[in-house]
């Protein structure tokens, strides 16, 4: 598969894909006789993993470390597991912060909806929402 095809499938730019390979977020991709990257099924899974993890907010350095550990073999299984568990913990905390933000935004939108309906804007419940 060509770099253009991969980029289209995952919604990323060629620069991003080349960067991921350069910094080790995905392993080196084999090249065809013309020297162009030729993405195999295994490469596509690495790209899928990279895009998913980056979308979740994982740092490039964490992903590159995971790939490095993977390439070292089975003796790094525990280290890879620990790295992913820590990443999962961070994502869960991020989700909690996002849920809190969404709750506050829902409240504010509902207050504006009420103000539009009644002509009166009152933030007297804001304190109790912030403390929940």
- CATH number, position 22: 1.10.1660.10
Question: How many domains does the chain fold into?
Answer: 1
Residue 6, pLDDT score = 97
Percent of the chain residues topping a pLDDT of 70: 93
Q: Is residue 88 part of a domain?
A: no
User: What six digits make up the tokens of 32?
Assistant: 């065809």
Q: Which domain holds residue 14?
A: 3-72
Confidence class for position 129, pLDDT limits 50, 70, 90: low
Whether the predicted model's global pTM rises above the 0.85 cut:
no
pLDDT given at position 98: 95
**Does a structural domain hold residue 54?**
yes
- Residue 2's contacts (CB-CB under 8 Å, 6 or more residues apart) are 36, 37, 38, 39
Helices (runs of H) and strands (runs of E) counted in the chain: 6, 0
Has residue 97 been placed in a domain? no
- Structure confidence at residue 5 (pLDDT): 97
Q: How confident is the model at residue 74 (pLDDT cuts 50, 70, 90)?
A: very high
Q: In angstroms, rounded to a whole number, what is the distance separating the alpha carbons of residues 48 and 39? A: 12
């Amino acid at each position: 598969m060509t770099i253009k095809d991969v980029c289209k499938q995952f919604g990323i730019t060629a620069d991003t894909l080349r960067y991921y390979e350069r910094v080790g977020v995905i392993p080196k991709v084999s090249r065809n006789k013309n020297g162009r990257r030729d993405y195999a099924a295994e490469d596509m899974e690495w790209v899928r993993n990279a895009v998913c993890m980056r979308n979740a907010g994982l740092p490039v350095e964490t992903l590159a470390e995971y790939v490095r550990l993977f390439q070292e073999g089975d003796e790094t299984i525990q280290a890879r597991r620990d790295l992913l568990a820590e990443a999962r913990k961070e994502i869960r905390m991020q989700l909690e912060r996002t849920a809190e933000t969404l709750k506050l935004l829902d409240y504010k939108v509902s207050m504006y909806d009420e103000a539009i309906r009644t002509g009166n804007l009152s933030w007297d419940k804001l304190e109790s929402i912030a403390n929940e």
